[in-house]
Amino acid sequence: MNHLLRSHAPISDDGWELLDEEARQRLTPALAARKLVDFSGPHGWDHSATNLGRTTPLASAPGEGVSGLQRRVLPLVEVRADFELSRADLRDADRGAEDADLSALDEVAHRIAVAENVAVFHGWHDATTGIGEASPHESVQLGESADAYPRQVAGAVERLLCSGITGPYGLALGREQYRRVVETAEHGGYPLLDHLGKILEGPIVWAPGVEGAVVVSLRGGDFLFECGQDLSIGYDSHDGEVVRLYLEESFSFRVATPEAGGRAESLVARGGTAHRALISNQTSVLPLAATPQRSAS
Amino acid sequence: MGFDQYHEPPDELPARTRTFARLCASLTEEAEAIGWYQQRLAVETDPEAAAVMNDAVGEEYKHFSMDLEFLLRRTPPWREVAEGILFQAGDIVEHGEEAEAEAFEGGAADDGGGGGDGSLGIGSLRGASR
């Protein structure tokens, strides 16, 4: 048995299969960061830190004529969201009910996906440095209308190219920005989504939790998501009425290439050396980017 | 173009399963290639030709290993069994029995019948649509 203690839960094998599949279906569309950044792992629950390859000199030494360095690492963070399910509903599902109430699981799945997106794109104080946070570039106003998005995204891409950052590029759009893009057709009826796709030559992803938009180069090596325990449902406790479960993962995220410093609400473009262009939010901004700064522990 | 790796109608299979099947097919092909090179090398008398084939089979080892690692990452129960068998000194069959028992008899309910580390096995979504 592992730390999830699933065998202690009053849930049948079919019930666990139902819960896991429901969670996958809810999580997959919303996990935007995993569609754009480099992913490593899973390395297991007992994986606690990411090697940074850096050291800190130690002031003291254990003997004369020697010196000491201490390795620096980036600790993984654990993200957990608790929820309860009715045992009666789970029994109904075992009987073949197709409409068991799993809304509590759906809600935490969305919440934890948003948390992951925020940690990656905007940063999590004391835990991760987000892509936008790391970017030094000023934001560019997106505006209320999506009509200007092609020019702004193209500008971001062009600025990345000027920095030597090649594509293809991906675009993470916050909920409101994504809706605007999907609902908009340009002059002549050409879908904006397709137009942006041609500019980027890469994916456009729905990214709940992102404020504004983020453009990233997909050539790799700049934004590193290291997974310890991948998203899992674990068991906490139960009584006669409900079973208390949780959705959990552990990970670290770092911007691998120095330079950078952006803001949370921005559109960021990342590249091989982690340059990026930023577009920010509702009223918007489209900052351009640069190279991120290495985040230490 | 053939689609022999699918045993069910591809249209009915989720993208994740189609990818899994492709990698399983690739793993099989790499294993076959390794077997073929072993046979060719066993009968080859020209040392220069043997050197070329020795170099080539090294590529197949790499490809096979990458395919296997991908599949193990996507299949936690398989990974758990493999961890009990691969790179272990001693009796292979004994390790196999122990690993299977650990993964499925002792821990089936650990992950709700899925075995392994109990995760949802989502991993990277690069290449996933939207």
Task: Dump pLDDT digits (tens) for A242-273.
Answer: 999 999 999 999 987 533 222 334 444 444 33
Kindly report the CA angle at A229 between A3 and B19, in degrees rounded to 5? 125
pTM confidence score: 0.71
Q: Which residues of A touch B110 (CB under 8 A)?
A: 1-2, 4-7
CB contact under 8 A, B118 and A44: no
Alpha carbon of B117: minimum distance to chain A alpha carbons (Å):
7
Kindly report the CA angle at A267 between A158 and A26, in degrees rounded to 5? 125
Q: What percent of chain A has pLDDT over 90?
A: 58
Mean pLDDT over residues A4-25, rounded?
94
Q: A138 falls in which pLDDT band (50, 70, 90)?
A: low
Alpha carbon of A69: minimum distance to chain B alpha carbons (Å):
34
Closest residue on chain A to B80 (Cα):
A44
Alpha carbon of B39: minimum distance to chain A alpha carbons (Å):
36
Q: How far apart are CA A155 and CA B71, in angstroms?
A: 40
CB contact under 8 A, A16 and B108: no
Contacts of residue A130, defined as CB under 8 A and 6 or more positions apart, other chains included, come to A118, A119, A120, A121, A122, A123, A124, A253, A264
Q: How far apart are CA A135 and CA A138, in angstroms?
A: 8
Q: What pLDDT was estimated at residue A159?
A: 81
Mean pLDDT over residues A201-209, rounded?
95
Judge whether A137 and A274 are in contact, CB under 8 Å: no
Judge whether A124 and A225 are in contact, CB under 8 Å: no
Q: A136 falls in which pLDDT band (50, 70, 90)?
A: low
CB contact under 8 A, A7 and B121: no
Among residues 44-103 of chain A, which lie with CB inside 8 Å of chain B?
44-45
Closest residue on chain A to B128 (Cα):
A35
Q: How far apart are CA A206 and CA A174, in angstroms?
A: 6
Mean pLDDT over residues A17-39, rounded?
95
Q: What pLDDT was estimated at residue B130?
A: 60
Judge whether A67 and A61 are in contact, CB under 8 Å: yes
Least confidently predicted of A200-214, A226-240, B91-105: B91-105
Cis peptide before A42 (omega within 30 of 0): yes
Judge whether B99 and B81 are in contact, CB under 8 Å: yes
Mean pLDDT over residues A53-79, rounded?
93
More confident of the two residues B44 and B12: B44
The mean pLDDT value of chain B amounts to: 85
Q: How far apart are CA A88 and CA A83, in angstroms?
A: 15
Is 80 exceeded by the pLDDT of residue A297? no
Q: Which residues of A touch B109 (CB under 8 A)?
A: 6-7, 13, 16
Helix (H) or strand (E) holding A80: strand A77-86
Contacts of residue A132, defined as CB under 8 A and 6 or more positions apart, other chains included, come to A121, A122, A123, A214, A262, A263, A264, A265, A266, A268, A278, A280
A30 inside 8 A of chain B by CB: no
